[in-house]
């Protein structure tokens, strides 16, 4: 019997978006000189007007952060900083539905994901780092590590709130103040977060948020008043920032692109592997830097696996991201859709065979069906370039050594997946894959306690876990100020 | 080669099936449990669930009065709801049920084979089956020999299922795996295939006498098994029955979603999916009344039988 789920849209009534948003500088919203609009990629409806941060705006945000760093935050005992972080974490959890709705409206990702993944994880990151704030002396960076100062942080549009949390939580826990630049197409949850900072009575200037486009990001990353730059985004922009920092001497961490291999052996738990492949490449429409975009299958397992995978892809529900039963949402922007379409077309020209799930695409908004390519040559752009969309390249291998060689044959090295029922093989593969994260019999699992970051052109530095603290700390041998780390416990 | 020809052939086949990753299977079941079933979908799901119920009483204290009342409710649940799929009782109560549901589409199912433990000699089990069939049971719910299964004597389990199937004649055979005693989801997958290879028309999770009874991850693995068996060379479409611990409409919807998205819509049919339950029916009826009236009534407005 046909069993169609009736529409089950999450209500927007919990959210009152303002018509326009200023910049969050020195603890209050201030207006700027020019504005731009942010739209919902699922409907192309204008959601709000947002301020485009210019030179003076960035200057004043950095000045506010410097002031707060010197007067308040760096001299505050760790346990007091921790209280603010705990408060923010709780507020995020309390206002989870509101954040989920705004994230889905602005980004286009399914409400199921923003509700079950993005928002709870963002809150968890604040909880986790709140706990570190008064224990930094025990983190392995000397008895009294020091904060760096003002951090300039530029984040992408794929996980707007979660990336904000990954950046702000450790920076604040370690005693730094921040100026954050959200992505141009997804500024709204950052604006809502500014509201949370006010609600938590966070001292003014500790968190500053300057919205804008790539130009604003460039102004922030190149600002001489910044001690540390943290960037998550494309490898191209990352390289530009790295060149700049090589001259300025500012500290830098980069989390860039990826082209992860998801390796399936013939003894894999097939049904779970299929779910892992689906989750690896279609989670968040494939807008995931660690997405498992290259599927490497042991040759004998290929045909049954492809059958099962295609069958499963047909059951994916693409459509209104606000519907609680939607699995695949909208592509984040027209520009990104163009990029995905042109790379997919290049793949076809190159001789790869394209197969897409038969799902009707809505008339308005930006959409791309879940797609896989078979008979992909290893030189094809489909298997080389980061598509950042719901497109999977399928190839085969014969031996574990060949799987390792193929998986590592990429300029990137962010993540990898291994599917096998044999524990020793999973461990052996993990030790030979050059990737910052290797998942065994799962994919796209994140936890604040687990360090995340890349090899090679996927960047450097780690976020999360004890290791992630290093990105926001200076190791010093003696406790000069007597205000941080172990001394105040 | 017939995989059921020897212990070693069976072992080779069953242990060659793809493994089940417990963490992943649980995560998938949990993900599907969050589907939202509202409005028209809910209306459809309520009646579909009612039509899939094996209304069950399996107690030492069952009396003719109790069973008769249950049969009446099975035929006519009331509030405009369709009849349930079957009533499920111990063998001695089959004649009473046959008379009570006569003229209705409700079928009579009987547990057999020394239910629930299955600890009796094969001829005793077969006699149990034959008496229930002779009394007019349309469906037989047998239990597998879990001791034999857990000690790797797959052939013994297979031969027993085949013998019971032969004793069933025209009656449909549901094979209870008692998954709560199998320990792993790999075990559930192997037991499912073993039962299907040996002639089961249905595979059923539990007796209801062992905790945990039906769970979503276990049912997920069984649905994957029937889906794959239907595509398997020499395979056919086998049904699944989730039994025990399913009490609310919300629980039932989760099973329907699982059937829909794992096995496929072909299984959304009382001929291929059943819910073994007793108190579930009243909750479904209560939800049905609410859908019609636009407000909740309460358990006091539902009949007790």
CATH number at residue B184: 3.20.20.70
**Contacting residues of A for B27, CB less than 8 Å apart:** 275
| Smallest Cα distance from A303 to chain B, Å | 14
Domain presence at residue B302: no
| Nearest CB neighbour to B268, from listed A1, A8, A276 | A1
- CB-based contact A3 B34, cutoff 8 Å: no
- CB-based contact A271 B18, cutoff 8 Å: yes
At residue B39, the 3 state secondary structure works out as: helix
At residue A299, the 3 state secondary structure works out as: helix
| Nearest CB neighbour to A441, from listed B21, B35, B45 | B21
Which pLDDT does position A486 carry in this prediction? 47
pLDDT at residue B304 greater than cutoff 90: no
Lowest mean pLDDT among A140-154, A464-478, B18-32, B81-95: A464-478
Domain presence at residue B187: yes
Domain spans of chain A? 20-256+454-488, 261-440
**Contacting residues of A for B41, CB less than 8 Å apart:** 3-6
Contact B291, B42 (CB under 8 A): yes
Query: pTM of the prediction?
Result: 0.95
Mean pLDDT (whole number) for B20-36: 97
Which pLDDT does position B301 carry in this prediction? 87
Which pLDDT does position A487 carry in this prediction? 45
CATH superfamily name and code, A261-440: Aldehyde Dehydrogenase; Chain A, domain 2 (3.40.309.10)
Domain presence at residue B2: no
Task: Give burial (CB, 10 Å; 0-12/13-18/19+) of A435.
Answer: buried
- CB-based contact B41 A3, cutoff 8 Å: yes
Using a CB–CB cut-off of 8 Å, the residues of A that contact B are: 1-8, 112, 116, 267-272, 275-276, 315, 324-325, 421, 441-442
Task: Indicate the number of domains in chain B.
Answer: 1
- Read off the pLDDT band of B234 (50, 70, 90): confident
What is the side-by-side order of every strand in the sheet holding A46-52?
Answer: A20-21, A46-52, A34-39
Q: Which domain holds residue B222?
A: 7-294
Domain presence at residue B104: yes
Which pLDDT does position A452 carry in this prediction? 97
Domain presence at residue B162: yes
| Nearest CB neighbour to B39, from listed A1, A6, A267 | A6
- Which residue in chain A is spatially nearest to B20 when comparing CA positions? A269
Using a CB–CB cut-off of 8 Å, the residues of B that contact A are: 18-21, 23-25, 27-28, 34-42, 44-45, 48, 224, 256, 260-261, 265, 268-269
| Nearest CB neighbour to B260, from listed A3, A6, A442 | A3
Q: Which of B18, B223, B256, B291 to mutate to test the interface with A (most CBs of A within 10 A)?
A: B18
- Which residue in chain B is spatially nearest to A266 when comparing CA positions? B18
Q: Name the phi and psi angles at A285, rounded to 5.
A: 55, 25
Which pLDDT does position B302 carry in this prediction? 87
What is the Cα–Cα distance from A87 to A83, expressed in whole angstroms? Answer: 6
At residue A375, the 3 state secondary structure works out as: coil
Q: In this predicted model, what pLDDT tens digit does every residue of B181-207 receive, in sequence order?
A: 999 999 999 999 999 999 999 999 999
Positions of A annotated as catalytic residues are: 255, 289
- CB-based contact A269 B24, cutoff 8 Å: yes
Copy the structure tokens of residue A54: 């210019």
Which pLDDT does position A477 carry in this prediction? 63
Which pLDDT does position B152 carry in this prediction? 97
- Spatial neighbors of A296 by CB under 8 A, at least 6 apart, are A261, A262, A263, A264, A395, A396, A397, A403, A406, A407
Which pLDDT does position B205 carry in this prediction? 98
Q: What is the pLDDT along chain A (489 residues), one digit of tens a residue?
A: 899 999 999 999 999 999 999 999 999 999 998 999 999 999 999 999 999 999 999 999 999 999 999 999 999 999 999 999 999 999 999 999 999 999 999 999 999 999 999 999 999 999 999 999 999 999 999 999 999 999 999 999 999 999 999 999 999 999 999 999 999 999 999 999 999 999 999 999 999 999 999 999 999 999 999 999 999 999 999 999 999 999 988 999 999 999 999 999 999 999 999 999 999 999 999 999 999 999 999 999 999 999 999 999 999 999 999 999 999 999 999 999 999 999 999 999 999 999 999 999 999 999 999 999 999 998 999 999 999 999 999 999 999 999 999 999 999 999 999 999 999 999 999 999 999 999 999 999 999 999 999 999 999 999 999 999 999 999 876 655 555 554 444
Domain presence at residue B223: yes
Which pLDDT does position A481 carry in this prediction? 55
**Contacting residues of A for B269, CB less than 8 Å apart:** 1
Which pLDDT does position A488 carry in this prediction? 47
Which H/E stretch holds residue B25? helix B22-33
- CB-based contact A272 B24, cutoff 8 Å: yes
Choices 3.40.50.2300, 3.40.30.10, 3.40.605.10, 3.40.50.300: CATH for A20-256+454-488 = 3.40.605.10
pLDDT at residue B160 greater than cutoff 80: yes
Copy the structure tokens of residue B65: 């009065």
Bridge partners, residue A394, by sequence: A295
- How high does pLDDT run on average in chain B? 96
Which H/E stretch holds residue A313? helix A302-314
| Smallest Cα distance from A425 to chain B, Å | 15
**Contacting residues of B for A1, CB less than 8 Å apart:** 48, 265, 268-269
| Smallest Cα distance from B48 to chain A, Å | 9
Q: What percent of chain B has pLDDT over 70?
A: 100
Mean pLDDT (whole number) for B20-46: 97
Positions of B annotated as catalytic residues are: 141, 204, 241
| Smallest Cα distance from B209 to chain A, Å | 30
What is the Cα–Cα distance from A64 to A214, expressed in whole angstroms? Answer: 22
Domain presence at residue B301: no
Which pLDDT does position A480 carry in this prediction? 53
């Amino acid at each position: 019997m046909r069993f169609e789920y009736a529409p089950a849209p999450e209500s927007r009534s919990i959210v009152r978006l303002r018509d326009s948003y200023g910049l969050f500088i020195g603890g209050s919203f201030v207006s700027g000189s020019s504005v731009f609009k942010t739209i919902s990629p699922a409907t192309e409806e204008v959601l709000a007007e947002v301020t485009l941060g210019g030179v003076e705006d960035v200057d004043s945000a950095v000045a506010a952060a410097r002031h707060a760093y010197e007067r308040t935050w760096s001299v505050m005992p760790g346990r007091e900083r921790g209280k603010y972080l705990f408060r923010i974490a709780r507020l995020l959890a309390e206002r989870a539905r509101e954040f989920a709705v705004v994230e889905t409206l602005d980004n286009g990702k399914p409400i199921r994901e923003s509700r079950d993944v993005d928002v709870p994880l963002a809150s968890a990151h604040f909880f986790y780092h709140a706990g570190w704030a008064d224990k930094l002396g025990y983190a392995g960076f000397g008895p009294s590590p020091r904060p760096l100062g003002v951090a300039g942080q530029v984040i992408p549009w794929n996980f707007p709130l979660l990336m904000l949390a990954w950046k702000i939580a450790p920076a604040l826990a370690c005693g730094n103040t921040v100026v954050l630049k959200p992505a141009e197409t997804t500024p709204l949850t950052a604006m809502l977060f500014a509201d949370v900072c006010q609600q938590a009575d966070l001292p003014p200037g500790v968190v500053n948020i300057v919205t804008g486009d790539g130009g604003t990001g460039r102004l922030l990353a190149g600002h001489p008043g910044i001690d540390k730059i943290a960037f998550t985004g494309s490898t191209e922009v990352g390289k530009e920032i790295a060149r700049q920092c090589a001259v300025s001497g500012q500290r830098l961490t980069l989390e860039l692109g990826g082209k992860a291999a998801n390796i399936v052996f013939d003894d894999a738990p097939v049904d779970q592997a299929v779910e892992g492949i689906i989750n690896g490449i279609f989670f968040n429409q494939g807008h995931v830097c660690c997405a498992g975009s290259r599927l490497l299958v042991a040759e004998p397992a290929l045909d049954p696996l492809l059958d099962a995978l295609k069958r499963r892809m047909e059951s994916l529900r693409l459509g209104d991201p606000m519907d609680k039963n939607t699995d695949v949402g909208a592509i984040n922007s027209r520009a990104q859709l163009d990029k995905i379409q042109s790379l997919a077309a290049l793949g076809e020209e190159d001789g790869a065979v394209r197969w897409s799930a038969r799902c009707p695409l809505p008339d308005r908004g930006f959409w791309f069906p879940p797609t896989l390519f078979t008979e992909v040559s290893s030189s094809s752009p489909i298997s080389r370039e980061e598509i950042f969309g719901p497109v999977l390249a399928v190839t085969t291998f014969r031996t574990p050594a060949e799987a390792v060689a193929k998986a590592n044959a990429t300029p990137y090295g962010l993540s990898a997946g291994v599917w096998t029922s044999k524990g020793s093989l999973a461990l052996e593969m993990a030790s030979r894959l050059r990737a910052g994260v290797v998942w065994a019999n799962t994919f796209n699992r994140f936890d604040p306690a687990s360090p995340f970051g890349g090899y090679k052109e996927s960047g450097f530095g780690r976020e999360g876990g004890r290791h992630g603290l290093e990105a926001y700390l200076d190791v010093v041998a003696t406790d000069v100020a007597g205000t941080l780390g172990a001394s105040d416990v | 080669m017939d995989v059921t020809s020897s212990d070693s052939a069976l072992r080779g086949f069953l242990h060659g099936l793809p493994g089940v990753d417990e963490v992943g299977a649980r995560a998938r079941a949990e993900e599907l449990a969050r589907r939202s079933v509202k409005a028209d979908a809910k209306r459809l799901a309520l009646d579909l669930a009612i039509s899939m119920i094996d209304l069950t009483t399996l107690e030492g204290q069952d009396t003719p009065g109790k069973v008769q009342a249950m049969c009446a409710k099975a035929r006519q649940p009331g509030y405009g709801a369709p009849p349930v799929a079957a009533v499920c009782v111990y063998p001695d109560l089959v004649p009473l049920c046959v008379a009570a549901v006569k003229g209705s589409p409700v079928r009579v199912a009987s547990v057999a084979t020394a239910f629930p433990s299955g600890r009796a000699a094969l001829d005793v089990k077969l006699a149990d089956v034959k008496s229930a069939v002779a009394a007019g049971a349309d469906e037989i719910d047998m239990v597998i020999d879990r001791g034999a299964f857990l000690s790797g004597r797959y052939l013994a389990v297979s031969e027993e299922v085949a013998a019971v199937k032969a004793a069933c004649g025209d009656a449909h055979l549901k094979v209870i795996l008692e998954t709560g005693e199998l320990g792993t989801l790999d075990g559930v997958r192997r037991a499912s295939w073993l039962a299907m290879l040996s002639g089961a028309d249905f595979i059923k999770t539990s007796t209801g006498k062992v905790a945990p009874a039906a769970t979503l991850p276990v049912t997920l693995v069984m649905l994957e098994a029937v889906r794959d068996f239907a595509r398997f060379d020499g395979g056919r479409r086998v049904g699944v029955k989730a039994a025990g611990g399913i009490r609310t409409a919300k629980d039932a919807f989760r099973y329907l979603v699982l059937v829909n998205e794992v096995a496929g819509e072909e299984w959304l049919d009382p001929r291929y999916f059943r819910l073994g339950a007793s108190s579930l029916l009243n909750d479904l009826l209560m939800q049905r009344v609410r859908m019609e009236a636009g407000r909740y009534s309460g358990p006091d407005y539902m009949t007790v039988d």
